């Protein structure tokens, strides 16, 4: 095959420019990313070899080799992993098939990459970090049963492909270092960088150096392993430093921040496994943007990496947790699909979930401020568990934080604390969901409870309105949305209803979309309010769905009127006197109730006309 020149995709050109020019102060991460990729390549061929031994080709002396050539100015990294075919090279090194690339570019242009280098690894573009230190990069690679190929580029507009001769499966990456990056040819720099980032890798990382024999003065090559090759999760906790945990977490997650919490334990009994889990301090940039609902723990079986794609190893609502699980009782010589169905995985999952929720509860009890920060980052994900993990529903609910009518803005409380402060005659946990605190703190729905001195939880996370009805109750107390369902009205309304009976019938007939019109004791200062049925969506959720282009089911609300309010009394009197102004005022009562509920008016122009007419008369 003659040499072929191909263009990078436009997005990749932009990406390379950002990496090359924005991460200068974090250039050492290039070596971490290349070694991690090489380690992954070895893991893949080892797993493939379990069911297809022929692909190993007896090339099983697993290792990653580094060689520095000061004279040529090159740093060479070689692995005997799975390698790549020509199609693989074009797919992996000429384009970015990653669904989050556009999101990455948008985020990278907004963020200061010098402060957020973790973006590189999170979006699967670690190989391209090579161009921070290299003027050009050459990749020689061969997969089992394919012809070898050479990929070359200087990281600008294009790359070339050549067919080459290569005997063994695997990949060799040659970096032609920039003049100001020659420090990475220094033996001490290479050793210290590998020690910092890759000391715990399962596979050996070796360094080939050239040394002159003192007697013969003949130069000889020496190969030395420079990582300890101790899987950190297999070591006793008391032998591992905080720094080692931190570096392993960064290797695993591509996060430059420290983990907020480390969970390291051995499970024994019906199922035996070792787990090393990390709760991040901050939400990764790609966590929400990629809309990936799955958790991705790395599963090993007897130190052989199997996959991080097992849906049933950890539920999606805990997908912010990073880590490794190494099981000794699972079969190795089966496909991932068969292993996925193994009932032992369910036992491991239950154990992991229990330990994670217990750890979060302990943080909440010991350091509420720290937990509040974690809840700010991951509370929305935890709430997903209310509708998917029924067995742990109450444990999850006990971890949730909410604002409240009795707390200052920004101050949070728990469901358990709410129950502790209940009055003897209150059997329900009252809450109101809305877009933000400013919108709902002075809502008409709260008037009665404020007057009675009752606390109402204020829920402003968009997911709250979907998941809180799934919880239904907590520690024997039912949850009740104060803007939905019937209120216990006093007998005093019976007399009022006689006075308003004619107007109520008139209003119900006049107002389209209103299921019922009735009097209420729910209001103290406001004239009217719209109330939904127990299981209907709140108006602000309906509005949010409309903005997203989602279909919104037609629902009818109840218009509740405050018989003590002067405007309600006025419009009733106008109706009794057959005054035509009753129609406009009735519409205005309904319109203001719509606005107070957080919804938008269907006909703002008609509302403005009615209001202007009323003001002009005044």
Instruction: Provide the angle, in degrees to the nearest 10, between the axes of the packed helices 101-110 and 10-22.
Output: 40
The pLDDT, as a whole number, for residue 391 is 94
Pick the last residue of a domain from 205, 225, 245. 225
How far is Cα 274 from Cα 138, in angstroms, rounded to an integer? 39
Quick one: 219 and 251 in the same domain? Answer: no
Domain-embedded: residue 386? no
Q: Contact, 202 vs 231, CB < 8 A?
A: yes
Residue 325 shares a structural domain with residue 434 = no
Q: What is the DSSP string of 506-537?
A: HHHHHSTTEEEEEE-SS-SS-SEEEEB-TTSP
158 Cβ partners below 8 Å, 6+ apart?
5, 6, 7, 8
Q: Cα angle at 407 between 402 and 410, to 5 degrees?
A: 60
CA distances from residue 152 to 24, 31, 137, 144, 156 in whole angstroms, order as listed: 22, 18, 6, 21, 11
Residues 535, 499, single domain; the answer is: yes
Of 324, 308, 300, 318, the closest CA to residue 354 belongs to: 318
Last residue of a domain, one of 451, 481, 511: 481
Are 237 and 220 in the same domain? no
**Domain harbouring 282, CATH code:** 3.30.230.80
> Could you tell me if 546 and 581 lie in one domain?
yes
Instruction: Report how far apart, in Å, the C-alpha atoms of 589 and of each of 78, 106, 423, 517, 562 are.
Output: 76, 45, 34, 11, 11
Closest CA to 201 of 222, 184, 225: 225
CATH code of the domain covering residue 466: 3.40.50.11260
Distance CA 416, CA 421 (A): 9
Is 377 within a domain? no
Phi-psi region of 203 (alpha: psi -120 to 50; beta: other; left: phi over 0): beta
Phi-psi region of 11 (alpha: psi -120 to 50; beta: other; left: phi over 0): alpha
| Ranges under pLDDT 70 in the chain | 1, 9-14, 18-26, 95-125, 213-214, 216, 285-291, 303-304, 332-337, 487-492, 537, 539-540, 542-544, 548, 552, 618
Q: In terms of residue numbers, what domain contains 361?
A: 232-372
Per-residue pLDDT of 438-461, as tens digits, reads 888 989 999 999 998 899 999 999
Judge whether 361 lies within some domain.
Answer: yes
Q: Are residues 272 and 148 in the same domain?
A: no
Computed on alpha carbons and rounded to an integer, the radius of gyration of the chain in Å comes to 32
Say yes or no: 534 and 561 in one domain: yes
Q: Is the Cβ–Cβ distance between 397 and 472 less than 8 Å?
A: no
Same domain, 404 and 510: no
The 10 Å Cβ neighbour count of residue 388 is 15
Distance between CA atoms of residues 461 and 450, nearest Å = 22
pLDDT at residue 369 in the model: 96
Q: What is the pLDDT of residue 382?
A: 96
Q: 């939905």: which residue's tokens? A: 484
341: left (phi over 0), alpha (psi -120 to 50) or beta: alpha
Q: Could you tell me the CATH number of the domain that includes residue 524?
A: 1.20.120.790
CA distance 326 to 308: 12
Whether 207 and 99 map to the same domain: the answer is: yes
Same domain for 177 and 44:
yes
The pLDDT, as a whole number, for residue 360 is 98
Q: Do 281 and 243 belong to one domain?
A: yes
Is residue 393 in a domain?
Answer: no
Buried b / exposed e across 493-524, counting CB within 10 Å, b at 16+? eeebeeebeebbebbeeebeebeebbbbbbbb
pLDDT tens figures, 132-165: 899 999 999 999 999 999 999 988 878 999 999 9
Asked if residue 307 belongs to a domain, the reply is yes
Report the CATH number at residue 86: 3.30.565.10
Q: Report if residue 391 sits inside a domain.
A: no
pLDDT at residue 540 in the model: 65
Query: Token pair of 242, please?
Result: 């905080």
Count of domains in the chain? 4
Beta strand 477-481 pairing with 528-531: unpaired
Q: How far is CA 88 from CA 62, 147, 170, in A?
A: 22, 12, 13
Instruction: Provide the whole-model pTM.
Output: 0.70
339 and 447 both lie in a single domain: no
User: Is residue 145 one of the residues assigned to a domain?
Assistant: yes
- Helix 29-51 and helix 187-198: axis angle, to 10°? 60
Last residue of a domain, one of 481, 516, 542: 481
């Amino acid at each position: 095959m003659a040499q072929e020149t191909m263009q990078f995709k436009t997005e990749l050109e932009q990406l390379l420019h950002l990496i090359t020019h924005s991460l200068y102060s974090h250039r050492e991460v290039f070596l971490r990313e290349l070694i991690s990729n090489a380690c992954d390549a070895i893991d893949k061929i080892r797993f493939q070899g379990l069911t297809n031994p022929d692909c190993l080709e007896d090339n099983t002396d697993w290792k990653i080799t580094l060689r520095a050539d000061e004279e040529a100015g090159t740093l060479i990294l070689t692995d005997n992993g799975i390698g790549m075919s020509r199609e693989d090279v074009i797919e992996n090194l000429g384009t970015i098939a990653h669904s989050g690339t556009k999101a990455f570019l948008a985020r990278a242009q907004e963020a200061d990459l010098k402060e957020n280098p973790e973006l590189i690894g999170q979006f699967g573009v670690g190989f391209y970090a090579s161009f921070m230190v290299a003027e050009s990069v050459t990749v020689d690679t061969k997969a089992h049963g394919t012809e070898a190929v050479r990929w070359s580029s200087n990281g600008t507009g294009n790359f070339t492909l050549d067919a080459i001769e290569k005997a063994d499966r695997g990949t060799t990456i040659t970096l032609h270092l920039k003049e100001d990056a020659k420090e990475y040819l220094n033996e001490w720099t290479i050793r210290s960088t590998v020690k910092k980032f890759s000391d715990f890798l399962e596979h050996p990382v070796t360094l080939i150096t050239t040394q002159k024999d003192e007697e013969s003065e003949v130069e000889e090559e020496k190969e030395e392993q420079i990582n300890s090759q101790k899987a950190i999760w297999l070591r006793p906790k008391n032998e591992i430093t905080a720094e080692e945990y931190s570096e392993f977490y960064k290797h695993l997650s591509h996060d430059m921040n420290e983990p907020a919490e480390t969970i390291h334990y051995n499970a024994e009994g019906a199922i035996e496994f070792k787990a090393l889990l990390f709760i991040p301090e901050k939400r990764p940039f790609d966590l929400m943007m990629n809309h990936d609902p799955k958790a991705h723990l790395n599963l090993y079986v007897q130190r052989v990496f199997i996959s991080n794609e097992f849906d049933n190893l950890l539920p999606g609502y805990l997908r912010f947790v990073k880590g490794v699980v190494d099981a000794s009782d699972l079969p190795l010589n089966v496909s991932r699909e068969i292993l996925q169905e193994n009932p032992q995985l369910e036992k491991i999952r239950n154990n992991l979930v229990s330990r994670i929720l217990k750890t979060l509860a302990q943080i909440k009890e010991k350091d509420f401020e720290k937990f509040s920060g974690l809840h700010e980052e991951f509370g929305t994900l935890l709430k997903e568990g209310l509708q998917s993990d029924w067995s742990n529903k109450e444990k999850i609910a006990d971890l949730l934080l909410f604002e409240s009518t009795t707390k200052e803005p920004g101050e949070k409380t728990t469901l358990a604390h709410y129950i502790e402060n209940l009055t003897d005659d209150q059997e329900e946990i009252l809450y109101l969901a809305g877009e933000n605190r400013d919108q709902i703190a002075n809502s008409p729905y709260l008037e009665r409870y404020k007057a009675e001195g009752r606390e109402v939880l204020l829920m402003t996370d968009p997911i709250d309105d979907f998941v809180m009805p799934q919880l239904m109750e907590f520690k024997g107390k039912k949850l009740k949305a104060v803007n939905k369902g019937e209120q216990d009205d006093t007998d005093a309304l019976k007399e009022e209803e006689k006075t308003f009976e004619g107007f109520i019938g008139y209003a119900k007939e006049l107002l389209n979309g209103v299921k019922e019109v009735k009097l209420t004791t729910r209001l103290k200062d406001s004239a009217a309010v719209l109330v939904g049925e127990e299981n209907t969506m709140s108006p602000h959720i309906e509005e949010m769905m409309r903005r997203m282009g989602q279909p919104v089911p037609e629902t009818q609300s109840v218009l509740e009127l405050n018989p003590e309010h002067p405007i309600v009394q006025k419009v009733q009197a106008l109706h009794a006197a057959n005054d035509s102004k009753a129609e406009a005022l009735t519409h205005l009562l309904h319109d203001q109730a719509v606005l107070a509920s957080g919804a938008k008016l269907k006909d703002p122009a008609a509302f403005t006309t009615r209001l202007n007419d009323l003001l002009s008369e005044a």
